[in-house]
């Protein structure tokens, strides 16, 4: 499997007739394949997800033709996509347990990479989306990702009013490239990104599991400390995450910087967490961070500080 196309964060919002604008969904990026009547789902790191989302595999299998599609698997909390709710499915690999979890999932398709043996990655995005809409019978858990032409700033304002995560801006005539590109840009309503867990602190009072996560981002080969995250956990998450961290225990800090948190324990930097926060402080720490869930679709070494792209587009 080849790497999916990834968007670049920017804070230079714009409207442009040469671009289209889609709602930014808060879920798990998935590549879906149908070949010879056999369907499969893979994460952006290549992990097979068929047991986690069996109803989506069935929906692809019931289509016609051979294709490769790109999209986002989401769960909803009212009218908002919720990565926290999706966590109840992400940890499951048994298809029966997954479907009995009580969490309905939907596969929002936004790109078509190939159709009946024809590679479409060099075709303009507008053409790929047109062919996607014609090739797939949408309904049930399969949804088409709609877009708005030209008016990126108005769409972002509307998204933020609705409490959505933001907007993805895409160059309408651009090809599909494997990796990060400035032809796809992220307009975010809130600050949020992945962080590597390098340790945790002792719980206090009646709390179980741990007190806070100690997280960081890579700068070259160095894991730089970004702060502690002490909110966003329920009892089940505190217990399950402590079990996973205990299995990764080590005696030395993985962070390049000194960490002066009381009651600190260290783990090998193998776990990636999605964290929401208000802003970065001047000394490179997170302000008001909140745990949203673990990510399994990104290598820890790929986790770096996301800085908005300012010059040009």
Q: Are 225 and 197 in contact (CB under 8 A)?
A: no
Full DSSP string of 49-90:
-TTT-HHHHHHHHTS-S-EEEEEEEE-EETTEE-HHHHHHHH
Q: Helix, strand, coil: what percent of the chain each, to 5?
A: 20, 40, 40
> Looking at residue 130, what DSSP letter applies?
H
**How far is 210 from 240, CA to CA, in rounded Å?**
11
Q: Which of 15, 21, 16 is nearest to 166 (CA)?
A: 21
Q: Is 12 helix (H, G, I), strand (E, B) or coil?
A: coil
Minimal CA–CA distance to 142: which of 178, 118, 106? 106
Active site annotation includes 24: yes
Token pair for 249: 């225990």
Enter the DSSP assignment of 10: B
Sort 78 into a burial class: Cβ within 10 Å, 0-12 / 13-18 / 19+: exposed
Residue of 24, 129, 170, 228 marked active site = 24
Q: What angle do CA 216, 28, 294 make, to 5 degrees?
A: 35
Calpha distance 40→1 (Å, rounded) = 12
**Three-state secondary-structure class, residue 20:** strand
| CB distance 187 to 24 below 8 Å | yes
Catalytic residues: 24
């Amino acid at each position: 499997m080849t790497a999916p196309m990834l968007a670049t964060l920017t804070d230079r919002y714009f409207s442009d007739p040469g671009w289209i604008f889609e709602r930014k969904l808060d879920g798990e990026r998935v590549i879906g394949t149908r070949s010879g009547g056999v369907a499969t789902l893979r994460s952006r790191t290549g992990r097979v997800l068929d047991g986690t989302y069996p109803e989506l595999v069935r929906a692809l299998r019931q289509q016609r033709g051979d294709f490769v599609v790109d999209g986002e698997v989401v769960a909803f909390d009212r009218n908002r996509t919720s990565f926290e709710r999706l966590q109840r499915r992400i940890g499951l690999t048994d298809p029966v347990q997954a479907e009995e979890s009580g969490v309905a999932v939907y596969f929002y398709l936004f790109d078509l990479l190939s159709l009946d043996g024809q590679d479409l990655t060099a075709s303009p995005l507008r053409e790929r989306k047109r062919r996607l809409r014609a090739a797939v019978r949408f309904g049930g858990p399969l949804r088409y990702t709609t877009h708005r032409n030209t008016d990126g700033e108005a769409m972002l304002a509307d998204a933020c009013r609705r409490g959505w995560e933001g907007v993805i801006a895409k160059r309408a005539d651009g090809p599909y490239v494997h990796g990060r590109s400035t032809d796809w840009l992220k307009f975010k309503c809130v600050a949020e990104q992945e962080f590597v867990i390098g340790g945790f602190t002792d719980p206090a009072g009646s709390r179980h599991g741990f007190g806070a996560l100690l997280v960081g981002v890579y700068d070259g080969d160095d894991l730089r400390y970004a702060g502690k995250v002490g909110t966003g956990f329920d009892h089940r998450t505190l217990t399950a995450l402590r079990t996973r961290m205990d299995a990764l225990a080590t005696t030395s800090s993985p962070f390049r910087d000194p960490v002066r948190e009381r009651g600190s324990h260290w783990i090998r930097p193998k776990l990636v967490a999605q964290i929401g926060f208000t802003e970065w402080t001047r000394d490179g720490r997170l302000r008001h961070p909140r745990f949203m869930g673990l990510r399994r679709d990104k290598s820890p070494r790929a986790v770096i500080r996301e800085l908005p792209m300012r010059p040009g587009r």
